[in-house]
Structure 1
């Protein structure tokens, strides 16, 4: 296996490269390594470190982290090197396992870093970890049950199967996430909430609950950081934030909370039939204070994607905790008017007494507590 040295943050590791003549795609290498995910990993380092400061861990107790689907191992190796907690890097691939062992030895971190060569589900069913990180090639769905059982404090999940999550591959999304997504203007947020809904249901089986600290859709993936709380009452409280979205082609949408609910089949504005999506998470996606704590961590670290990451985190911090966002250009096309700047529209909504914010999901989108007729009236009257 051909390897080369790369540096991310303060960590230098060996990663695989495709064989000569192979298509130069990450998946063409004998062990998967994707340089495009550096931003994901940078934020992971800062978020994990920020969470540990919140925990104020007992120095007598060991904090354990597992990168359950390590591939090249770069994520877990960075955690071990840049944060310094006890880290387990696991992968089913023999090549990946050997490369991880080589990097651990080269980096001199063997006192608190361990390579594992197991099926990820087996490992997660065998042991509990304070922090469980799932970063699969594709869907995390096959590993969510074991991760929900294993995790104690913080669950970090990446999903790169955005087509099933966001409704482009409807049947695949239904099979993997036991929910119906809609491929519409807010499909990116739909994907985040479908994933969170599946995680919430898995956690509830173990009398655990989640509090989303940060959840974002960036490029081709979804990523979430979930604070875990224990107890049946906490799980019951969490499930009250599950629900459905009823969407009409006129643009009207209705949120319905609960898992066994009555949903009107006709739109309250135009009378046409609703399309129903869910069940999904309708609660908060971020905790603003935690976003600030991540930003503070990033500012103190040498990270290659710092500027871009901080900008995205600021959008997450400041966006309203309201499902789902509206696309300004789509509304303007429907109304036959030219679009103002997004900041002008948000100011107009606020001036009319509504809450409004930008969103990290799209540069042309916004969130508001205004109803559709009021949004359209304000758009038409903007000068």
Structure 2
């Protein structure tokens, strides 16, 4: 195999020469290395570093005693960077013989033999047999086949990437139902729908083992969803987590939406605003997507590290931190098109919402999206007033 060195962050890794300039979605990417995912990896290093520093201080653990596994490693670049740039112990696993050999070569290249172990095993078997402080699942496509094992293996932090955004966001409805045991739908807030469908699935997998999660950071970026989940144990915590599952009732006619907490409940199909028939999505996660304090810790790591996507990563995490904690976002352009007015400048519109006593924020999902506790009627009234 012809290889050459590439550098991300503070880590130089070996990759196959013919893959160097490839940049397309992971579901179609070569096995070993996808440069387009550097932002994902930069944030992963910063988020993992923020978490392990807190874990080390709280548990009085040496960084080298904290265990991390990348169960689907490919070239191993993510796990190699995390081990090299955070100081924790990493296990890098891949079923492919070529990937396994390249991981071993990279471990030697970086001189990480004392803190990085390469394995070639079925990912689910590895996770069912072992416990790790941090479990990272980053497959090509859906993480669904690995979530049960990952939920059992992760002791303190679970990190998950999903690149099958079409099933998650409702574009491939039946595939989404099969993989995530939930009904998504594909509308203007489909990206947030994908995040919450994924979190709902993980919630149910964790609950089987009386385990609970708290989202520290979750984002939908381009063709993937990524989430970082703090893990706790105990039936009471699990029951409290499950109370944050529910459904979204959406009216395609007027754009109103309503959240309903619970798994088995009656939801009227008639829209309370225009009497049209609503559609339902779920079960999905209705709780927080981010913890602002953790986002600040990640931002501090981003500022103090040599990252190739520093500016993009900073902007993304700041938007996540400042998002209003409500489901789901609105799209200003979609609403304006429906009611026949021209969109106003987004910051001026958010100020108008706040001036009328409502909470409002931009979101990381798109430049025209916003969150508010105002209902659709109040939003439309304000948009009309800004004409």
**Fold shared, TM-score > 0.5 on shorter chain:** yes
Looking at structure 1, the residues matched to 83 and 255 of structure 2 have their Cα atoms a distance apart, in angstroms, of 48
Looking at structure 2, the residues matched to 231 and 252 of structure 1 have their Cα atoms a distance apart, in angstroms, of 37
Looking at structure 2, the residues matched to 309 and 244 of structure 1 have their Cα atoms a distance apart, in angstroms, of 31
Looking at structure 1, the residues matched to 71 and 89 of structure 2 have their Cα atoms a distance apart, in angstroms, of 14
Looking at structure 1, the residues matched to 284 and 325 of structure 2 have their Cα atoms a distance apart, in angstroms, of 15
Contiguous gaps of at least 5 residues in structure 1: none
Look up the match of 1:174. Answer: 177
Does residue 1:292 correspond to 2:315, yes or no? no
Looking at structure 2, the residues matched to 63 and 306 of structure 1 have their Cα atoms a distance apart, in angstroms, of 26
Structure 1 residues 296 and 105: alpha-carbon distance in aligned structure 2, compared to 1, 3 A threshold: same
Look up the match of 2:223. Answer: 220
Query: Greater CA deviation, 142-151 or 335-344?
Result: 335-344
Looking at structure 1, the residues matched to 23 and 156 of structure 2 have their Cα atoms a distance apart, in angstroms, of 38
Shift of 1:106: 1.3
Which runs of structure 2 are paired with 1:1-383 in the superposition (5 Å)?
1-18=1-18, 31-55=31-55, 56=57, 57-59=59-61, 62-249=65-252, 250-382=254-386
Q: Quick check: 1:72–1:96 contact (8 Å CA) kept in 2? A: yes
Looking at structure 2, the residues matched to 352 and 28 of structure 1 have their Cα atoms a distance apart, in angstroms, of 47
**What is the root-mean-square deviation of aligned Cα atoms in Å?**
1.7
Q: Quick check: 2:23–2:34 contact (8 Å CA) kept in 1? A: no
Shift of 1:382: 1.5
Find the residue that maps to 1:284 and give its secondary structure: coil
Shift of 1:48: 0.5
Q: Quick check: 2:19–2:33 contact (8 Å CA) kept in 1? A: no
Structure 1 residues 73 and 369: alpha-carbon distance in aligned structure 2, compared to 1, 3 A threshold: same
Shift of 1:174: 0.4
Q: Quick check: 1:31–1:95 contact (8 Å CA) kept in 2? A: no
Shift of 1:15: 1.2
Looking at structure 2, the residues matched to 262 and 19 of structure 1 have their Cα atoms a distance apart, in angstroms, of 52
Looking at structure 1, the residues matched to 204 and 286 of structure 2 have their Cα atoms a distance apart, in angstroms, of 13
Looking at structure 1, the residues matched to 41 and 366 of structure 2 have their Cα atoms a distance apart, in angstroms, of 22
Structure 1 residues 19 and 308: alpha-carbon distance in aligned structure 2, compared to 1, 3 A threshold: closer
Q: List per-residue Cα deviations over 1:46-80 (Å, max 9, x = no partner).
A: 10010112211423682100001000100000011
The count of residues paired between Structure 1 and Structure 2 equals: 382
